[in-house]
Structure 1
Amino acid sequence: MINNFLYEQTTKILFGVGTFNRIGIETAKFGRRVLLVTESDKPPLAVVYDKAEALLKKENLEVFRFTGVIPNPTTESINLGTEIARKQKIDVVVGIGGGSALDTAKAIAVSAVNEGQAWDFLFYKKPQPQRTLPTIAVTTTSGTGSQVTQVAVMTETVTRTKSAIYNNLIFPKAAVIDPELMATIPAHITASTGFDAFAHSFESYLNINSSVYTDMVALEGIKNCVKFLERAVNHGDDLDARTGMAWADLCGGLAIANAGVTLPHGIGMTISGYCPHIMHGESLALTYPSFTRFTFPYAVQKFAQVARLFNPGYSSETDLKAAELCCEEIDIFLKKIGMWLGFKEFGVDRHTLREIANRSHDLPDYKANPVIADIDEIYRQLQVGLDRT
């Protein structure tokens, strides 16, 4: 019997090689004054930003630039973009880049037309925004899924708090997913963002709020990460691998937009709040070996299913044995893509891990895990990652 479920997705998806060329046409549907949100103009993406501006101007759009996107966006960087959007009376925001650029664009779209700043509209605060500027999301990485989610993540540096806007109003109006834009992304960024894509699908599959629909999408995402991520890391110009990872990323985004993530993402967000030099995918890789071993006894069938995506030979094993082997397969996967990491290599000490653990229930993601980890358990898991080599 299929249980009842609700699935919402309002983003128009343009997927495939060459879809980037439609950015001007899609943007023109929502206004004439455009804020183009990107990182600073530097290789390898500077040429992409210039082409985007040309395509927008080809449709007679007036383009204003905000080049202040930073990794792990802060309230300060978002506020700077908001000032430009308000001053120039922007109609539509176009974000180009990885998750940081897309989240920044969505956050600016909220704060540009509401009093206050984006931080005032976090998921738990009231009142929630009643309007936002439309956004167009052009992803240049395969990992965050932000191009199809209603989430905008940011950090308040003063309190070292990383949190998010979560509101269906900020689903992008269009997501442009062109694998050619990802061909120049460095290997380690490919690995880090790619593991984030894997984690999105894996955690939404485990999530206690998952449905038959999100499970279907999540398994497709996992399958393609297993098949294509190592290839994309080792051969960045392999367009077939890049396309496979773009599809995996899209599946992960579609899954978490409706099922959500679990324990590792809540911990990972806290890690980034305290240690902004650690990329989000790295924070997940740091926690996954302990997380999987803690969780698999409470989701045996699903862990077993994923294990068999890594190795079909596990079909002859019992579900319990296959579930246990899934943990080992994910370890091997991390090693193959260069993401077998320890906290010490990032300069993180035991005291900082204790502070991270103490705040790892700030976000509600842990509640959706098949088994609840208390603060001491989270600290134990983090300590395992301290000396990992």
Structure 2
Amino acid sequence: MWETEININDIKEIRVKTTAYLGVGAINKINDILSTLKTMNIDKVLIMSGKNSYKSTGAWEHVKNALESNSIKYVLYDKVTPNPNVIQVDEATELGKQFGAKAVIGIGGGSPIDAAKSAAILLEYTDKNATELYEYKFTPEKAVPIIAINLTHGTGTEVDRFAVTTIEEKGFKPAIAYDCIYPLYAIDDPALMTSLPKKQTLYVSIDAINHVIEAATTKISNPLDVLLAKETIRLIVKYLPKAIENPNDLEARYYLSYASMIAGTSFDNGLLHFTHALEHPLSGIKPNLTHGLGLAILLPAIIKQIYSAKPNTLADILAPMVEGLEGNPSEGNKASEGIKDWLHSVGVTETLSDVGFVENDIEKLTNLVFDTPSLGLLISVAPVDGTKDIVKQIYADSF
């Protein structure tokens, strides 16, 4: 396969909207990135991360040294949790405003980077807050520059225009998508991802799989979405078991990182539909539920519902996961069971009841799908009509 002819230690510059650096040792590019910021008269930055991984991966030492060598001052907000909320974004923004930050650096997985994107908007719109941003009370057209140092291989947020934050008091987990929050630069260094726990390795990779399955089957999908979906799924099916078996396998981490990146580009074009629209209420209600696990639980039931609308596309892109699909609209059950078998093969067997939901929750979850800002847009581009009955059936089939 062509992958064997790539030198994973050769840092590639990948240009989408964001300039992304992919490869073992890519973290060393942070000095060049900060040098560029300095030429933009940026001498103070807000850094956002979770509590531990920015240090335990070794990323922080590189960033700190580069900040010091470029005489850029910083203030650190390291309280971002999985499924970040508007309170965290507002706290970080206030810290950045008081400090006079002119850019934001997010270090971590999707949560810190999404929170950093949100703060970057609010540093420009100083009279607004995160709740107003995520309830669509205003439409931002600018944000301070964003640098994304990615420590997981799943969200694709380091190269796309999306961000997600929870409004916990309402159970809302909306998404925003604005051109102003494309990161200026991104770093995807597989060597920073070797300490990802097994379950997180699984869940972030499943997130990327869902990104492309959805993006390739929306009403606005384009040929690039399908191309990227095929490659994303092929790479993850091939390299995820290797990363699980040997977390230090840099080749596996490299291709999982690349797969995540191109998956981010895929749904940046084709958008998302059922799986993300229905998962956001799950982790909106239960912030401790890992996003990728919620997606995995829902995926087989969603494949069952949408297969007849996109049988040839799904047969093609799912081929590495499910053998023998021919693109016959009647194969929905076979595809659904095949996806479930593949998930079981990598160790993901949970159902909604296993993560604490009961069937009486279906009505509340369904209402959140239709009441949460932004999720209606996702439902509207699904390949089949996103009725309440179909949403309820997907939830019911996921128990």
Structures share fold, TM-score greater than 0.5: yes
> Are residues 1:207 and 2:218 paired?
yes
Alpha-carbon distance in 1 for matches of 2:48, 2:213: 30
Please state how far the C-alpha of 1:126 moved relative to its aligned partner: 4.9
Aligned to 1:90: 101
**SS in structure 2 of the partner of residue 284 of structure 1:** helix
The answer to whether the Cα contact below 8 Å between 1:353 and 1:382 also exists between their aligned partners in 2 is yes
Aligned residue pairs, count: 376
State how far apart, in whole Å, the 2-side matches of 1:248 and 1:140 are: 14
Partner of 2:386: 373
Q: Distance in 1 between matches of 2:55 and 2:352?
A: 29
1:181 aligns with 2:188: no
Structure 1 pair 324–306 and aligned structure 2 pair: CA distance change class (3 A): farther
Aligned to 1:341: 350
The residue correspondences of 1:140-179 to structure 2 (distance < 5 A) are 140-179=151-190
Instruction: Point out where structure 1 has 5 or more consecutive residues left out of the alignment.
Output: 1-7
TM-score (norm 1): 0.91
Report the secondary structure of 1:209's partner residue. Answer: coil
Indicate whether 1:314 and 2:321 are aligned. no
Cα deviation, residue 352, structure 1: 2.3
Which AA in structure 2 matches 1:24?
Answer: N
Report the secondary structure of 2:138's partner residue.
Answer: coil
* Counterpart mapping for 1:377-388 below 5 A: 377-386=390-399
Residues 141, 179 of structure 2: 8 Å contact kept: no
Secondary structure of the structure 2 residue equivalent to 1:68: coil
Query: Do the aligned partners of 2:159 and 2:265 also contact (CA within 8 Å) in 1?
Result: yes
Q: Give the 3 Å change call, closer, same or farther, for CA 307–49 of structure 1 in structure 2.
A: same
Match of 1:119 in 2: 131
Of the three residues 208, 213, 231, the one matched with 1:197 is 208
Q: What is the Cα deviation at residue 337 of structure 1?
A: 2.0
Say whether residues 1:303 and 2:310 are aligned partners.
no
**How many percent of aligned residue pairs carry the same amino acid?**
25
Q: Distance in 2 between matches of 1:83 and 1:119?
A: 14
| Secondary structure of 1:137's aligned partner | strand
Structure 1 residue 46, shift from structure 2 partner:
5.9
Which residue of structure 2 lines up, in the alignment, with residue 58 of structure 1? 69
Q: Secondary structure at the match of 2:303?
A: helix
CA contact (8 A) 1:34 1:61 kept: yes
1:243 aligns with 2:250: no
Q: CA deviation at 1:253?
A: 0.3
Distance 1:373 1:131 in 2: 33
Q: What is the Cα deviation at residue 345 of structure 1?
A: 2.0
Are the structure 2 counterparts of residues 301 and 345 from structure 1 closer, same or farther at C-alpha, using a change threshold of 3 Å? same
Structure 2 distance, partners of 1:26, 1:109, is 17
Aligned amino acid, residue 365 of structure 2: I
**Most deviating of 262-271 and 23-32:** 23-32
- Residue pair 2:27, 2:59 contacting (<8 A) in 1 also: no
Structure 1 Cα separation of the partners of residues 392 and 328 of structure 2: 29
Which amino acid is the alignment partner of residue 23 of structure 1?
A: I
Letter of the 1:224 partner, please give it.
Answer: L
- Secondary structure of the corresponding residue to residue 319 of structure 2: helix
Displacement of 1:374 in angstroms is 1.6
**C-alpha contact 1:194 1:245 (8 A) present in aligned 2:** yes
Judge conservation of contact 1:302–1:323 (CA < 8 Å) in 2: no
Say what the alpha-carbon RMSD is for the aligned residues: 2.0
Q: Which segment drifts farther, 59-68 or 42-51?
A: 42-51
- From 321, 330, 334, the equivalent of 2:339 is 330
TM-score (norm 2): 0.89
Residue 15 (structure 1) aligned to one of 7, 17, 22: 22
How far apart are residue 376 of structure 1 and its match?
Answer: 2.5
